[in-house]
Amino acid sequence: MRYWDASALVALCVAETNTSAVRRLARAGIVTWAVSAVEIASAIERRTREGSLTDAERAAARAALGELAAAWTEIAALGPVRERAMRLVATHALRVADAMQLGAALVAASDRPVGHDFVCADVRLGNAAAREGFRLLPEA
């Protein structure tokens, strides 16, 4: 199983330095938290407000997000994700959204992260995922 944090999925919608690497990884399929689409949309809109995306680039990014979200597998089990996130915030220095992402990854991996991948562009979250036992991608 290859779990994707929203930070890595953004690069599939907007050109970033890691876009080529994550595109290759995406061929194996995407599993993510049910709220990832909102996180990605927020990143797209923030970049548009800041002026780093044109209106045309914003429209293309939102269309790409729609296509991705239609094809990925979502972890939507709020209760089990929240339970794991409660432990994770006590164990790692994580923000709420990051703890929920990692909690969703643990649910997807049936609490056995060894042998599963965690695709992430956020250093703090990636480090926590690796400490939990996931293999962090893309590799540096």
Residues in Cβ contact with 65 at an 8 Å cutoff, skipping those fewer than 6 apart: 13, 37, 40, 41, 44
Q: What is the pLDDT of residue 21?
A: 92
Summary mean pLDDT of the chain: 97
Q: What is the pLDDT of residue 139?
A: 79
Domain with 46, as residue range(s), is 2-137
Count CB-CB contacts under 10 A for residue 114.
Answer: 9
Which of the residues in the chain have pLDDT under 70? 140
Count the helices and strands in the chain (H runs, E runs): 7, 5
81, HSE (Cβ side, Cα atoms, 13 Å): 19
Residues in Cβ contact with 135 at an 8 Å cutoff, skipping those fewer than 6 apart: 115, 116, 117, 118
**What is the domain-level CATH number for residue 101?**
3.40.50.1010
Q: What is the pLDDT of residue 140?
A: 60
Domain count, the chain: 1
Q: What is the pLDDT of residue 10?
A: 98
